Amino acid sequence: MDIDSKPHPISRPVPTDHTNVVQQSHAQRRLWFLFQLNPEQAQHNLLFRLSLAGPALDASRLQAAFGEIIKRHSVLRTCYRNSASGPEQLVLTSVPIEILAQDLTELTPAQQTQRVEQLLHRELQKPFDLGNGTVMRGLLLSLGSDRQELIYTVHHIAFDGRSQEIFLVELAQLYEADSADVLAPVSLQYADFAAWEPMHQTAELTESTIAFWRDYLAGMPALIDFAGRACAGGTARPAQHQFVVPPLLTGRLKTAAKSRGQTSFSTLVALFSMWVHYLCGRDRFLIGTDVHGRDLPELAGIIGFFINQLVIKCDLSGDPTLAELLQRSYTHTSDALAQRQLPFDTLVAALAPQREPGRTPFFQVKLNYQRYQFPVTRLGEAQIVQTQILQELAGFDLVLDLTHGPTGIEASLEYDRQLFSTEEIERLAPLWLDLISHCETVLDQPLSRLHQQLQQWENTQLQQQQQQHHQRNRARLVAARKRPQSS
């Protein structure tokens, strides 16, 4: 995320002589609390899928590389518990990991696809027991002489986007060298950060930051609903729609933002808020975003969970022009980012917003924007040809994850099928791309006129869907007529 202002820490984390027991970080406490409410849920699992082409990986060598990384980074061998002094993390001496290998070469391509999807679903839904220190597991699937799938799942309490980059770089180096000597020793651990964090977040700083947020969020609704839609309650039915913002549009977006002295992220927030406004019909609402807590260089090489959730105000009232909305978005986004150091749970406790069971307080829609998380292109002699990250909705209605990669912005729109059908999302998602594409030519148009334009674009998408549906039905009918009749 392109962030302009950074907090000024009063100290810097250093390696400490603490015992293996240290309090949990603020970010970990939030996930530990949710885990205790329902230990059988797996909504904070992160699943990483790497599709490989080329010579097969050696399973035992791969497992040894995984084991060495767990040895290097203590957060990957840490268990969690409660104590009289509060939630704690206990660093274990060792935690075994097993990379299970499965041979699917005897299956047909269709059967392989079905089996891989089943395994992905199983791994994503299988909970971790945070009390025993196991937060990672892996699968290595053989699909042919030159095709494999490496799938590893990690609990979010120990891992974030930057952790994935660190992990994959180290995995590639350890597998290639088959020796731990190839990597420099780790001087700072996540437990050191957790021990330092309370000293950085002083009572005075917390009080002043809460005062800002109380003023920033004054009068804003804490819940968002979508016009004419009612969630049935209970467990969400998550689904995912993936698409790409091509390099041409990505470059156009960056240039347009820079020409107005704004950021790509604030521009994306403005266009996303216009899209959400179209879906829910509300002029004022809140969205969330994930922000990292790695501003200090000492934290750049640590595997761990440094994510904080940030609330961003979206105000589309008064029928502003798109140019005015972009300026509002820049101001609201910059103000929020400047105060992002306050832990989200501290904010919730201080302001006590209206809440609904199973839904995140303040916002139910998120927009995340980050850089590419797969910096490695090979494991051994095998080429990584495709990557995928899967995660459950975890209490949200809509989550748009944007990853700025070498081929543009990769977008993953996660949604609850209790609120939106697959057909609707396939029709509605392109409207956001249309907004990006036409952004510079409609700056002077009020949002009411843009709303009408979105309706026209949606009607066009609906006609195309109906035409494609009709063509598929005709093709099935023709194929049925050509089949030989049984005697």
Instruction: Write the CB contacts of 478 (distance below 8 Å, at least 6 apart in sequence).
Output: none
From the CB of residue 256, how many other CB atoms can be counted at a distance below 10 Å? 17
DSSP E strands in 372-433: the ranges are 378-379, 382-390, 398-405, 408-416
Fold match flag (21-193 vs 203-229+236-371+394-469) = yes
Q: DSSP class of residue 369?
A: E
From the CB of residue 307, how many other CB atoms can be counted at a distance below 10 Å? 22
Arch. (CATH architecture) of 203-229+236-371+394-469: 2-Layer Sandwich (3.30)
The residue assigned the tokens 């000293």 is 199
The Cα angle at residue 265 between residues 262 and 268, in degrees rounded to 5: 100
Q: Is 352 exposed, middle or buried (0-12, 13-18, 19+ CB in 10 A)?
A: exposed
Q: Please indicate, yes or no, whether the overall pTM of this predicted structure exceeds 0.95.
A: no
Three-class HEC string of 93-154: CCCCCCEEEEECCCCCHHHHHHHHHHHHHHHHHCCCCCCCCCCEEEEEEEEECCEEEEEEEE
Which tokens go with 450?
């843009």
Which tokens go with 130?
């945070």
pLDDT given for residue 7 in this prediction: 47
Q: Are 290 and 257 in contact (CB under 8 A)?
A: no
Q: Dihedral angle at the C-alpha atoms of 435, 438, 441, 445, nearest 10 degrees?
A: -30
pLDDT given for residue 4 in this prediction: 40
Per-position pLDDT tens, the chain of length 487 = 444 444 444 567 777 766 689 999 999 999 999 899 889 989 899 999 999 999 999 999 999 999 999 999 999 999 999 999 999 999 999 998 989 999 999 999 999 999 999 999 999 999 999 999 899 999 999 999 999 999 999 999 999 999 999 999 999 999 999 777 889 999 899 999 999 988 877 788 889 999 999 999 999 998 887 756 655 455 667 888 999 999 989 888 888 899 999 999 999 999 999 999 999 999 999 999 999 888 888 999 999 999 999 999 999 999 999 999 999 999 999 999 999 989 998 999 999 887 777 678 899 999 999 887 778 899 999 999 998 888 887 778 899 999 887 778 989 999 988 889 999 999 999 999 999 999 989 999 999 999 999 999 999 988 888 888 777 777 777 777 776 665 4
Residue type, position 284, single letter:
R
pLDDT given for residue 2 in this prediction: 42
Q: 87 in helix, strand or coil?
A: strand
Q: Is 305 exposed, middle or buried (0-12, 13-18, 19+ CB in 10 A)?
A: buried
Upper half-sphere CA count for residue 390 (Cβ side, 13 Å): 19
Q: Which CATH number fits domain 21-193: 3.90.1170.50, 3.40.50.880, 3.30.559.10, 3.40.50.920?
A: 3.30.559.10
Task: Report the DSSP pairing between strands 398-405 and 365-371.
Answer: parallel
Task: Report the DSSP pairing between strands 21-23 and 86-91.
Answer: antiparallel
Domain boundaries defined on the chain: 21-193, 203-229+236-371+394-469
pLDDT given for residue 234 in this prediction: 53
Task: Report the DSSP pairing between strands 378-379 and 382-390.
Answer: antiparallel
> How many residues can be counted in the chain?
487
